[in-house]
Structure 1
Amino acid sequence: MRPTITEVEDVVDDWDFPDLLQELDGIEENPFSSRPPTLKKYQLLLVYSGNEPFDTGSQPFQDIDTIQALRNYFVHYEPDWITPEPSNDSEHIEHEIGSRLQGKFELNPLASDSQEFFPTKCLSSGCAKWSIERSIEFADQFYDRFLGLEPRYGSKVENTLPDR
């Protein structure tokens, strides 16, 4: 997601939007924020270009926010308690990212039923494929909204990944 927005920022540098450029430059990447700045940059570009921003409570924005959170969890890891055994206790709270990923893709076939969902079961080729597909769908929608620019990656999601 970051390379796509950086590419668009390069195009915007040639336009006369000094307020937008100043605001984009002022957004610092903070891996621990609840709304990654990358998504904020997408929203700002849409607003400044007079287009409708993504609804932050709907798809595909919610899935992209989850993918960013998953990425940041591993890239900027901070220790966190995850219970190794499933619990029937009503006070058991599932890991936030794991709960956001439930039911989105095929699970790791090498994980046993007794292993926790996050990260053991959910880190799978299904998760990777889902992440790529959703990212491309988000970028496609962004390009469709943003002044009709054609994406440089050139193809829509159905032409990107082979079927298994």
Structure 2
Amino acid sequence: MDIKSSISMSSRHYLSVTHLSAAALFSQRAAMLEPVLTLGDSASNEGLREHTACVITSIMLSVAFLEATINELWADCSEGFDPVRIEGLQNREAMATLWRKSSLKRSTMLEKFELALELNEKPGISKDTNPYQDVKLLIDLRNALVHYEPETVFNFSCGNKDKSTEHKFDKKLRGRFEPNRLTGFGNPFYPDKVLGAGCALWATASAVAFADTFFEKLGLSCIYAHTRSTYGV
């Protein structure tokens, strides 16, 4: 008599950790390149291309990390995955139902974070201070890069700045990080001076700070905790 048996195995990959790893890698690479490159030097051309690519990629992946992080939490509740980790959530069953049957998946990323805290009767993240403000600006910057529309950017000599034509990112991002050192007097703040290593490092740090605050308020461990020393976050 032949006896046949089969074993079913399942696994779950958390892409948020992969996104965080890549965002940290690209931001750190940009920080290494910026001091050793020279604008206008043909020998630096390839390095300048890599530097810009690293900065933009880090910005995009920092936001992708946050989006994957909150989607993974809602999906874990919906599918009952990692029950030990999520058992402390007061209303995980309500979260599961909402994820499966409502239009929640079409909500904005920040709305998903806010609703998770609200459903579990936890204090919200203040919208008037950091890390919320930094992440809101990070998302705005990511959206401007992904859905780019050409626009005229004015650059004024010292003392002649016209506030009425000041770019929105000039107003909101200036002072939050070191400007791109591979720029000069003739470069406008956005996008030239924004897209530097300082911005890339700020993007990653802001995303992690927001996620840390969220999980602390929720009373839940974060799945990226073991990566801190490795990724430098």
- Name the TM tier (shorter chain): 0.7 to 0.9
> What fraction of aligned residue pairs are identical, expressed as a percent?
30
Provide the secondary structure at the position in 1 that maps to 2:164: coil
Q: Is the 8 A contact 1:133 1:157 kept in 2?
A: no
Distance, in Å, in 1 between the alignment partners of 2:228 and 2:206 is: 8
- Show structure 1 runs of 5+ residues with no match: 28-36
- Matched with 1:17 is 94
What TM-score comes out, normalization by structure 1 length?
0.81
Between structure 1 and structure 2, the one with the greater Rg is 2
Pair 1:129 & 2:201 matched: yes
What TM-score comes out, normalization by structure 2 length?
0.59
**Gap change, CA 1:110 and 1:25, over 3 Å in 2:** closer
* RMSD over equivalenced CA pairs, Å: 2.2
**Gap change, CA 1:127 and 1:26, over 3 Å in 2:** closer
Larger relative contact order (CA 8 Å, sep ≥ 6): 2
Give 2:126's match in structure 1, choosing from 28, 50, 55: 55
Residues 144-159 of structure 1: pairs in structure 2 closer than 5 A: 144-146=216-218, 148-155=219-226
Aligned residues: 151
Give the aligned residue type for 1:112: G
Residues 8-157 of structure 1: pairs in structure 2 closer than 5 A: 8-13=73-78, 14=80, 15-17=92-94, 20-21=98-99, 22=102, 24-27=104-107, 37-83=108-154, 85-86=155-156, 88-146=160-218, 148-155=219-226
**Gap change, CA 1:72 and 1:114, over 3 Å in 2:** same
Give the aligned residue type for 1:86: F
- Show structure 2 runs of 5+ residues with no match: 1-65, 81-91
Q: What whole-Å deviation, never above 9, does each CA across 1:28-86 have from its counterpart, x for those lacking one?
A: xxxxxxxxx11111111110111111111111101000000000000111222211x22
